[in-house]
Amino acid sequence: MGIFSDIFTIARWEVKKSFSAMGRNVLPLAIILFILLILATGFVARSGMHLQDGMYTLATDDRDLGDIFSADGRFTVYFADPATILSERGAFDLVIVNRTVLAPLTDRGRSAAKTLSRDYSQYVASVYNREPDLFAAYPLWIDLQYVQSELDFQATQGGQYISVRQRSAAPPVPSQPVVQVTPPSTAIPYTADELRKNLQQDVGKNDQLARYTNLFTQLPSYENFKTPSQLSPSLPFDSIIFVFVFIFPLYFTSQFFMMSVMNERIGRKGEILLSSPMHPLVIIAGKMLPYLAGMLVTSTVVILTAKASLLILLPLVPVILFFLASALLIGMLSRSFKELSFISIFFSTVATSYLFFPSIFANVHVVSLVSPLTLIILQLQGTGFSASDYLYSTSLFYLTSGVLLYIGVVNFNAERLFDLRPFIPRLREFVGSAMSRAHPYRSLFIANLLLIPFIFMLQMMALVVLFNLPMPLSLVLLIVAAAFVEELAKSVGVYSLFAAEFPTLPIRTLVLACAATAIGFLVGEKLFLVAMLSQITESVFGSILFLQQDLLLLWMPLLLHFTGVLIVTLSIRFGGRRWYFPGVIAATVVHSLYNLHFILGAMR
């Protein structure tokens, strides 16, 4: 019980301190700003976004059409008679004469034509969905049915693209026995009024204005019952914006925590706290508690105002922990306010995009589950998520925040906190003291095991960034980047642990350390992949198959990881610290060649 009362004491101090520093001056202005924020949001909702106004020029001879299209601010519409328009055609991005659209064959012309045709289908939809006889205006409805297929497990595991391309002209014959199905019934599951409401809401959705105001209304949406024009998968736009409403308060609160940690270090203010008999873990937990509580309360308030399900809190918890753990380390590491700002902005951008980008594909692909935010979107959409979905998308966050917190706790002492040396050596020391000198091999094994989730995150980011490049280049660069990340990560443990004594290190210790690293890395990698893949395919057979197949080939990647880290350590051992980077590069080259060989082999 003593520990808990200590934690509460520190939490109380923390609250008192931050309120006395901030409260009196900041609160009034913060309230004013908050009111202004609501007013500004209302203003934007009313007047719309005017970022792309006047991007395109459009000339037409038809008043009606001109009025329809000038509702879109992107077009500046000019009226003239057909002869004038056609002689001045080059001066406009688009021309509509005799109800025919003419666009120049430039990027800009094509883009303008595309925007115009989207506006036009909006207009058509708005005319048709007012029709008294809905099924005359919308005579065709498509019922989407999904079929489970488990045959493609091995191909997806190898990251290959499966296509159904049949050369023969004859219809395919199934190899399995055919199960007789009854044809679907022709009765419509919804009434005409329900469908009309849905159609009208859909038109409103693409309207910039309604996009933001409809956030909290929850009209039924018919996921699987659509008109042809609704057939492309729906972008969960509203939910994505809504997700930002959750992330922003978390971001701000973690900034406060970061600053509170930093403040302890300015002028050695935290020395009193450190000299108390309390364990660093207790101090950190106490300091963190108010912010954790604050984040949970804010999120709950947001959920309740949105009348959403409180289940959304579940995927937010690991995100909150991750933000707090990173804030702790950033606050402990930065030397100055400038550095704190830049590192924290950088971190939050990277973290937000990591959380954000997969969730956009929430309705398209299972991979979107890498981000806990996807669970929130699914919950908001009413689809919900299962316990295994939860495990899959949050385990990375729980693991990484656990590791980060551990590093923070181990280094929470005077020597590390009041050190003003540059960022990188300090980071190395932080990692170094998180490992046990007495059991170097065991700690190397565990360290590399725990590095895997971070590596996975980094490789996902590399995938994101390199995705843009043309095909063979992006593949090669991705292989190189992935190899570099892995080699760098493997070397971090050994390098931090033995930093000081490298020149005198016995070769035997070095080799054993490399072996421990390689084994830890491999075990972590395989455990992780099995967990991820069995989730993606949802097939137990698949994961067993994968594991067995791989056990036979296990020595190959093990040898590869061992060689890689050995190259790096040997180059530091004999070349000194200056050879660290060249060593990593050399290991990357070896690693990439190995991967290239196997991928090219698989392609052939």
Partner 1 sequence: MNGRNVWIVARKELRGINYEKTIVFAILLQLFVAMFSSFLMVGLTSMYDPSSVSQYARFRYSIAYAGNDSSLLDRLQDSDDFTVFEMDLSPALESLKERKLAAVIFVPATDPGGTDPVQVTLYTVQNDLQATVVGVKLKDVFLGFENDLRDARAQRITEQPVAVDFPPAARTEGFYEFVFGLLIPLLVFMPAIISASLIIDLITEEYQHETLETLVSTPITFAEMVWGKILACEILVPAQAGAWLVLLALNGIRIANPVPVLVLVTVASLILILLSALTALHYRERTAAQFIYSTALVVVILLVVAIPGNPLNLIVRASVGNAGMETWGAILLVSAVAALLGYVTHLYARRVGRLAQGGI
Residues 258-317 contacting partner 1, CB under 8 A: 259-260, 263, 266-267
* Footprint (CB under 8 A) of partner 1, residues 462-501: 464-465, 467-468, 471
- Report, in Å, the least distance between residue 202 CB and partner 1: 15
Q: How far is CA 67 from CA 84, 106, 121, 471, in A?
A: 19, 25, 15, 44
Q: Which is nearer to partner 1, 101 or 599 (CB)?
A: 101
107 binds partner 1 (CB under 8 A): yes
365 binds partner 1 (CB under 8 A): yes
- Report, in Å, the least distance between residue 591 CB and partner 1: 24
- The DSSP call for residue 132 is S
241 binds partner 1 (CB under 8 A): no
554 binds partner 1 (CB under 8 A): no
- For residues 262 and 334, the answer to whether their CB atoms sit within 8 Å is yes
Q: Which amino acid, 210?
A: A
326 binds partner 1 (CB under 8 A): no
Judged by CB under 8 A, the stretch of 166-174, 325-333, 377-385, 439-447 that binds partner 1 is 166-174
Given candidates 12, 16, 108, 268, which one binds partner 1 under the rule CB under 8 A? 108
- For residues 182 and 214, the answer to whether their CB atoms sit within 8 Å is no
* Footprint (CB under 8 A) of partner 1, residues 1-20: 18
- Report, in Å, the least distance between residue 568 CB and partner 1: 24
CA distance 346 to 66: 45
3-state helix/strand/coil string of 297-308: HHHHHHHHHCCC
CA distance 494 to 508: 14
231 binds partner 1 (CB under 8 A): yes
342 binds partner 1 (CB under 8 A): yes
Radius of gyration of the chain (CA): 30
Given candidates 179, 272, 553, 603, which one binds partner 1 under the rule CB under 8 A? 179
Long-range contacts, 99-107 (Cβ 8 Å, 24+): 99/62, 99/65
- Report, in Å, the least distance between residue 222 CB and partner 1: 12
CA distance 511 to 526: 22
- Report, in Å, the least distance between residue 249 CB and partner 1: 11
Given candidates 5, 353, 386, 436, which one binds partner 1 under the rule CB under 8 A? 353
Given candidates 3, 71, 91, 188, which one binds partner 1 under the rule CB under 8 A? 188
> What is the full DSSP assignment across 163-203?
-----SSSPP--SSPPPP-PPPP---SS-HHHHHHHHHHHH
Judged by CB under 8 A, the stretch of 171-179, 301-309, 310-318, 378-386 that binds partner 1 is 171-179
CA distance 292 to 483: 37
Q: Which is nearer to partner 1, 305 or 353 (CB)?
A: 353
* Footprint (CB under 8 A) of partner 1, residues 557-596: none
Given candidates 153, 323, 361, 528, which one binds partner 1 under the rule CB under 8 A? 361
- For residues 102 and 95, the answer to whether their CB atoms sit within 8 Å is yes
- Report, in Å, the least distance between residue 515 CB and partner 1: 35
* Footprint (CB under 8 A) of partner 1, residues 72-101: 73-74, 76, 96, 99-101
CA distance 68 to 74: 13
Closest of 237, 203, 55, 66 to residue 121, by C-alpha: 203
> What is the full DSSP assignment across 201-225?
HHHHHTSHHHHHHGGG------TTE
Given candidates 273, 366, 446, 460, which one binds partner 1 under the rule CB under 8 A? 366
- Report, in Å, the least distance between residue 486 CB and partner 1: 21
- For residues 400 and 454, the answer to whether their CB atoms sit within 8 Å is yes
To which residue do tokens 């037409």 refer? Answer: 60
Q: Which is nearer to partner 1, 163 or 548 (CB)?
A: 163
- For residues 265 and 418, the answer to whether their CB atoms sit within 8 Å is yes
Q: Which is nearer to partner 1, 9 or 352 (CB)?
A: 352
Given candidates 40, 507, 554, 593, which one binds partner 1 under the rule CB under 8 A? 40
Given candidates 8, 16, 36, 578, which one binds partner 1 under the rule CB under 8 A? 36
* Footprint (CB under 8 A) of partner 1, residues 136-155: 136-149, 151-152
Given candidates 20, 166, 217, 504, which one binds partner 1 under the rule CB under 8 A? 166
Given candidates 339, 419, 429, 550, which one binds partner 1 under the rule CB under 8 A? 339
The helix/strand/coil state of 101 is strand
66 binds partner 1 (CB under 8 A): no
Size of interface with partner 1, in residues (CB under 8 A): 136
- The DSSP call for residue 96 is E
To which residue do tokens 């090669």 refer? Answer: 476
